[in-house]
Amino acid sequence: MIQPITFPGLGLSFTINPIAFSIFGMGIHWYGIIIGTGFLLAFLLANKDSNTFGIKQNDVNDFLLVVTPLAIIGARLYYVVFEWSYYKNNLLEVFNIHHGGLAIYGGILTAVLTAYVFTKKRKINTLKFFDFFIPYVALGQAIGRWGNFVNQEAHGVETTLPWRMEIFDPAKMQRVAVHPTFLYESLWNLGLFFFLLWFRKKNKYEGEVFMLYLALYGLARFFIEGMRTDSLYIGTLRVSQMLAGLFFIVCIALFFIRRPKNKRPEANS
């Protein structure tokens, strides 16, 4: 039975089958479609804007063909590593991502490493490449979080706030009203996308946009992760919350420390 998702304080109700349609008996899940839509829109916008930023469209196309599968694999491996107590006895489930289980920080770290290697091989300015691409990453995240909405996952603790989301909790066998943390992150990332696009036109030093993304996303994720009920842990510490806090502290410090130095030549601004 498909459980409805409601926002009683707002008078909204949604009943969504996680499976959008089937092809030859194989269910195609909304989760994958939504994440794919985020990737596609990010790709189209990056492709459209590449020439104005001095990045070749062929480089954009080739990079996205390489980074997309690798980022998904990285996001999955990150999740599996920290849930190994379950997956070591259910190895085939490692390959089943229809029901979620993609950790964004695993995808980000994989994408950054991939971009570093790619730019070195293509002899592209790495920091400039990061500055160009990172706003579209925020947009892809904003869209992708709605896959969590359909799966009724990545939500927060119980609350009575007017915008609370009511879902069925299998562990409690009853409906509960929780923080829609997927929505908090989606809205933050959407705002971050527009802010970074604006800042990218005004930044004076290569790498600033990228560091600002890591800092501001880390700031939001630190607090949002503290509300979630499905965090990955090392002992009693939330892994993503630790990473988010670390990224915020380090990157916001670097953002200001580097400003008086390494000024980008006017020709590249």
Packing angle, helices 126-144 and 104-122, rounded to 10: 150
Look at residue 269 in the predicted model and tell me its pLDDT: 41
Q: What residue type is 221 in one-letter code?
A: R
Look at residue 262 in the predicted model and tell me its pLDDT: 52
Residue whose C-alpha is closest to residue 143's, from 39, 69, 220: 39
Look at residue 36 in the predicted model and tell me its pLDDT: 92
HSE (side-chain half, CA atoms, 13 Å) at 135: 22
The domain limits of the chain are 5-204
User: In the chain, what is the greatest distance between 2 CA atoms, to the nearest angstrom?
Assistant: 62
Q: Which residues are annotated as a binding site?
A: 145
Tell me the mean pLDDT per 10 residues along the chain, length 269: 95 96 89 93 94 91 94 92 87 79 91 96 95 96 96 95 96 94 98 97 89 97 96 92 97 87 50
Look at residue 93 in the predicted model and tell me its pLDDT: 83
Report the 3 state secondary structure along the chain.
CCCCEEECCCCEEECCCCEEEEECCEEEEHHHHHHHHHHHHHHHHHHHHCHHHCCCHHHHHHHHHHHHHHHHHHHHHHHHHHCHHHHCCCHHHHHCCCCCCCCHHHHHHHHHHHHHHHHHHHCCCHHHHHHHHHHHHHHHHHHHCHHHHHHCCCCECECCCCCCEEEEECCCCEEEEECCHHHHHHHHHHHHHHHHHHHHCCCCCCCHHHHHHHHHHHHHHHHHHHHECCCCEECCEEHHHHHHHHHHHHHHHHHHHCCCCCCCCHHHC
Look at residue 267 in the predicted model and tell me its pLDDT: 43
Residue whose C-alpha is closest to residue 229's, from 169, 187, 173, 184: 169
Size of the chain in residues: 269
| Interacting residues of 34 by C-beta distance below 8 A, sequence separation 6+ | 143, 144, 146, 147, 150
Look at residue 126 in the predicted model and tell me its pLDDT: 96
Q: Give the phi and the psi of residue 212 in degrees, each rounded to 5.
A: -65, -40
Look at residue 53 in the predicted model and tell me its pLDDT: 87
Output the six-digit token pair for 125: 């300015």
Task: Find out whether 225 and 268 touch, Cβ atoms under 8 Å.
Answer: no
Look at residue 183 in the predicted model and tell me its pLDDT: 98
Q: Which bin fits 24, alpha (ψ -120 to 50), beta or left (φ > 0)?
A: left
Prediction pTM value: 0.89
